[in-house]
Structure 1
Amino acid sequence: MNEKLQFSWGHIIAFLALIAVSYISFVGFTYLTNGNFTFALIGMGITDIVYILFFIGAQQMKASGVKMKRKIIWERIFIFGSPVIFIAGMISMSHFWTVRSQNDKIVETFKNSINNSRQLFSDYEEYSNQRIDSYQNILTQIIVNKSSNPQAFKKAGFDESKATVQRDNMVETLRLQLLSQNYDSLKTVANKWINDAAQGASTWNVFLLGNTREIKDALGNWENQLKSFSAKEMSNESIIRNVDHFQSSGAKNAISGIDSLTSAFTTQKFPTLAAIVFGLIIYFMLLFPYFIQDRHTKNVYRLIGSESNHKRKKAKYSKPRQTTSSEDSYDDSMDEIETLKLEEDNDYPSF
């Protein structure tokens, strides 16, 4: 009877509720702050601590057999204050369900955005092939016009006897610079990431969708690496005309699409039906340890009123009847017996 139930099936239910609260609040805070994982972890931790204090604290106060007058005050504060505290903690969790309700639209926008980054590599390969073809045509033109423009022929670094071989070697060197093994590795890694992201895109996967800053950094990094590849020029490549460096709208369009998700992630709305149902279930799960906890037998206080109040009310509404002197003496003796029993048993109602 006088057991605090340090660990029971009710605590297991409350523990499962806290696990759900932890992840959902973490995801909600992450979306609210547009990917600030540090703030989300702090917010999640505070939510868990406050919920444990109010819900498990209420159970501990109910079970206590010492300083009961003080403990009943805290028990009432925890129980009657729990709805307000719970609703405050539900702000981030409700926001998650708001984002979740837009899952299909968000995922589609995200997939389209990262797929736009594939255009970055298509544009680069098109740029590289055009530049290689242009370079080859320029060198061929210089060789053909060597008699009319011997200065350009000499400036290009050709020898009379092996100009054609030199041209082919120069073209191949440019090809290796623009479409090197480094480019192939970058493209392979990027495409694998894009494929994995497309498969794993979901509002439940906060480490993917919520981390928009790292995604944009990755896209910008890919573009910068491609630009660094294109910045390399052959020594005789700009003899006739200037070399255009690589430009693409692929990364820009991808980043623009991801930026459009910020509004969906950070805009708060009225709680959805899913958020309300989730909140009610979690609230009663957290209260389970309190519900199944028996009140300490020494404790005359109740959540509302006390045991003495209940007795006075019962006596007030009971009808008196006339008794004989012998009945009075019998009732007195029975009252004494009942009093002794109560003192020995101390078994008051638990709630």
Structure 2
Amino acid sequence: MKKNLSLLKSNIYFFVALFLMLVIGLTRYDSEAGLNDFRLLLYLPDYSLGFCSRFLVGSVLSVFKKTFTVKWLTDYCVYVYIFTAFLTAFLFNALVKKTDEKYRNAVALSGLMVMAMAVGFGYFAYWLGMTDIYWFIFTLLALACLKNRYLRWLFPVFSFLCIANHYMAAIFVFPVFAAVMMMETEDNPKDKKTTALLVLTIAVSVLSGIYFVFFATKTVTVPMEEAQRYLNSKLAVDQRPTLFYMYGKARYETVNTFSGIIREATSENISEFNAKKFFSFLTSMLPIMSVFSSVYFFAFKKANHFPGKITCVLCVLFNIVPFAVSVVSSDYIRWFSLLVISQTLIILYLVYDRNEAICEGFGKISDFFAKNPVLLAAFGYITIIYSSRI
């Protein structure tokens, strides 16, 4: 009994994180509705149609299974979510246990808030089946490999996989990869291999982003009717025409052009805009983003050399484009969530890396909330209440 209690106590953050992501997170999933037509489609196209973004997952699944049912795909998505929750909880627990006691509570609460938020990790359950969860997995694995002298060379590979999974990763994931590599280079300014890895990561990310946004759909030469027959042959039920929304967008509305991307991002935004939901999403993310912004502010003041200050500024500026996308798109819960998650990954990795300026920033935040517990309670209340309304 004592052994079990000791195990529970030493890994308390693992179990709390798992509870938030599984018990609370999955309550946001509408099991009766299941996967809608659009999310089903994400698992059907493969590279036989063309080398395009969003075809990665379907191509991997096609290696093991040729036809699917809605139930199989739904169960598969649930299992992926559960795996991701366990992986996240495991890495988070290891991070918190390694963190200095001076700012451990601030780091732990920040991470747990993101896991509890609907505009955070809860998004993966709220829209179960969206393939954004795979870039999250790829990014976690990339960060886990970065300190290994051999595995760290997989870093640009994971960056490519993220963008191959969805070209919008160039906006939401690239900042994570760039920020942590810039900090690695700052910590090891004379290490040519680290500098080479930074350059390689940026080059791979930029080039793959350009390819998948502007050129990938040129590889799709299959006529629409033939593609429909092929996709229908992979799903063991009859589907409505809306099933082919994504394929039609990618092939026939020139999403491979910049204007096409803007058109897709803003499509039906006015008719679908829900002010109450929009401001609920925005309000629920303000506490955690305020904490992160404050940490960057303190880290900027603490950094005693130019590269460190520039990195802090860039981490804040990285938010501008994703936030702009969140505002103009009707999928604001998606983009708000990915914005919060990407910033969480950056800042918690820097804590894990014992970045002095970032850790000092969390120390300041911890001291501030210790003196202002009412404000801390207000932050928690806002996060929970507004997340529950979503």
The TM tier, using the shorter chain, reads under 0.3
> Whose Rg is larger?
1
Tell me the TM-score normalised to structure 1 length. Answer: 0.24
Q: TM-score, normalised by structure 2?
A: 0.22
